[in-house]
Amino acid sequence: MAASAGGAWWFLRRFSQARHLLDTPTSKIRSAAQGYVEFYGVLHDSAEPQLLGPLTNTPCLWWRYKIEEYTSNGKKRSWRTLESGSSEALLQLDDSTGSCLIDPRGAHVRPLTRQVWKGGLRHPLGVAKTGWRALFSNDQRYRYTEERLHAGQPLYAIGDFHSSGGGRQGLDLPAAQGAVIREWKGDFGGLLQRFDSDGNGQLDAREWQRVQLAASLEAEDRHRQQSTRPVQHHLAKPCEAQPFILSCAGEDELVRQFYWQAAGGVVLCLAGALAAAWLLGINSF
């Protein structure tokens, strides 16, 4: 029954992800609507310093690594994960119309570059062993995996899109005013020094009106300054349960993989249901 429920959940999850990809039209960065969108583009170097892969020391834009240890306990043999991690630096995606910064945190990333090798030290020295050196290496207690994204590689990206600057955002004055007041309250002593005119250590109704008026003017000034900045596009993880995917493979390949995985979930669900029915039939006798 657990296998049947797990298979059903897996089918629904993968099928839903495939439908999200198919139902979301491809947009251009310059003209994309705010919200859930998908882009095709090319990765470019951003203004941030270039990263280095933690295992190979290879320059890249994004990395993910894993170090595993081979364990053997009688008949049970397996690889146990010792360390893993991924970078969080922003990525820059360019298409023919503009540029978009991507926050990779929380994304399902499918990179083009992936290296897997083995060795005898927990942390490898230098680049991965390849060819005959790897074939005749006897000390293979540890397994290393490093995945990377590099400048110039194609990228399919789907997630939550928003833009700032360039006068694109309207001013929600009550919300902006409240944010300014909360910021000022963080330094309550400074707030009293500015607006406590009678020096009694409290803000009366008239003094509080002055605080609100000053916060409103400050919010409007900040909005004007932000509006003069060049427009900046961002892509990040959606707040809702929608897929956030960064992949060097295109949409068609991703959808095909999701459908195959959904089919695997159906098989598991049916197998679990048949096994449960068979076991219940035996127990009934």
Give 86-137 pLDDT, tens digit per residue: 999 999 999 988 899 999 999 999 999 999 999 888 888 766 555 555 555 5
pLDDT reported for residue 138: 58
pLDDT for 189: 84
Among positive and negative, which fits the CA dihedral 17, 18, 21, 23? negative
Asked if residue 204 is part of any domain, the answer here is: yes
Phi, psi of 70 (to 5 degrees): -80, 125
Residue 23 covered by a domain: no
What pLDDT score was predicted for residue 172? 74
User: Is 209 a member of any domain?
Assistant: yes
Q: Token pair of 194, please? A: 């500015």
Hey, CA dihedral for 115, 121, 123, 126, is it positive or negative? negative
- The count of structural domains within the chain is 1
Residue 99 near residue 29, CB atoms below 8 Å: yes
**279 within a domain of the structure (yes/no):** no
pLDDT digits (tens, 9 = 90+) for 35-92: 999 999 999 987 677 899 999 999 999 999 999 999 888 778 889 999 999 999 999 9
Q: Tokens in use for 121?
A: 């030290």
Residues 6+ apart with CB under 8 A from 261: 10, 14
Residue 265 inside a domain? The answer is: no
Higher pLDDT, 128 or 146: 146
Residue 139 counted as domain residue: no
Task: Tell which wins on pLDDT, 68 or 8.
Answer: 68
Q: What mean pLDDT is reported for the chain?
A: 82
Q: Which domain holds residue 194?
A: 173-227
What torsion, rounded to 10 degrees, do the Cα atoms 13, 17, 18, 22 define?
A: 150
- Pairing state of beta strands 99-102 and 232-236? parallel
DSSP assignment of 137-192 equals -----EEEEEEEE-TT-EEEEEEEEEEESTT-SPP-HHHHHHHHHHHHHTTHHHHH
| pTM confidence score | 0.68
What's the pLDDT at 278? 74
Whether 176 has a pLDDT exceeding 80, the answer reads yes
Question: Is pLDDT above 80 for 167?
Answer: no
Does residue 95 lie within any of the structural domains?
no
Provide the pLDDT for residue 276: 74
Q: Is the pLDDT of residue 173 over 90?
A: no
Q: Is residue 141 part of a domain?
A: no
Lowest mean pLDDT among 69-78, 195-204, 274-283: 274-283
